[in-house]
Amino acid sequence: AIAAADFDLSPAKALGVGLSSLQLTKTQSSQVKMSLAALTFIASRGMATKMTVKNLAMIGSGQMGAGIAQVAAATGHKVVLCDTAGDILEKAKAGIQESLRRVVKKKFADDPDKGQEFIASTMANIDTTTEPAKAVVTADLVVEAIPENLQLKQELFNTLDKFAPANAIFATDTSSLSITAMASSTQRQDKFAGLHFFHPVAVMKLVEVIRTPETSDDVYECLMAFCRAVGKHPVTCKDTKGYLVNRLLVPYLFEAGRLYERGDGSKEDIDTAMKLGAGYPMGPFELADHVGLDTCKGIVDGWQEVEPDNPLFKPYPLLNKLVAEGKLGKKTGEGFYKY
């Protein structure tokens, strides 16, 4: 196969000499010109249809949405950040600025002026709106990071599908829900996939790129390229429960909770055991507080609906109690521990 776009396809360059200097009949010369014209057309079509992301619409400005907006804007992408109220968006922008200041302290320690320029240019790439329809009008990629509720996400994508450009890619940052089920609410199932970033987005390098059976190769390659462009390391997985990381991680967190509930060990000792014995940077209770107890509960509740008899997906009362009391972890100041 010839990558035609890699070549200068003007007739003289392609042949190395002018056609007139070759001893060709008129018929042969005509055939050569037609072949070159066809190659030029194929190359131009290929270059014109290659999918790239320059404009991102980020729906949801919580920890994940703001983080994705930050890394995209910091790498030169134009971002429209959307949420339900102006004060929520202002809080998100303030959080992004604070995060950028931490980045600058490390990255531009020897050049503070350049660091300030970096912050200013990044923030200049972020616009905000409370109207999802406006957010997606010029988007190449639409990413959703709203609460983990399948019906809510389906309704959102169904609405956005009517306003986004026909060639725009839709992606969800869900950590556990079915990508295929979300895609079914749109008319662009071939342009739909999962992009699961990890918290904190500015620090964590991994992104899970989740393909459905309908996700096209072009969309998949575009999303892999986008992840690399924002400084991340993408891995690929199928649309299965929990994908790769959470399918292994969340049952581990829940089993730690059951150990504690049975009185087999204190939460402090369980955390210490996993840090010193397994080399983990955080113990399971520290990590659950970091992730958010409501997020952990939402993931397993969704899995249990599909597989109610799977013992790995069985909830435990203490977690339900903490979530009901609004003790969701670090983000609320208290979870398994107080902060």
DSSP 3-state percent helix, strand, coil across the chain (nearest 5): 55, 15, 35
Query: What order of strands is seen across the sheet that includes strand 126-129?
Result: 126-129, 78-82, 55-59, 141-144, 169-172, 192-197, 206-211, 233-238
Please check whether residue 335 is in contact with residue 322, taking contact to mean a CB–CB distance below 8 angstroms: yes
Catalytic residue of the set 55, 61, 185, 208: 208
Catalytic residue of the set 175, 176, 178, 185: 175
Rg over alpha carbons for the chain, rounded to the nearest Å, is 25
Per DSSP, what are the bridge partners of residue 195? 209
Is 178 among the catalytic positions? no
| Nearest CA-CA partner of 194 in 182, 203, 202 | 182
Is 233 among the catalytic positions? no
Rounded-to-integer distance, Cα 218 and Cα 168, Å = 12
Catalytic residue of the set 77, 148, 185, 196: 196
| Nearest CA-CA partner of 253 in 205, 289, 206 | 289
Catalytic residue of the set 55, 61, 246, 286: 246
Is 208 among the catalytic positions? yes
Q: Which residue has the tokens 């010839």?
A: 2
Could you list the active site residues?
175, 196, 208, 246
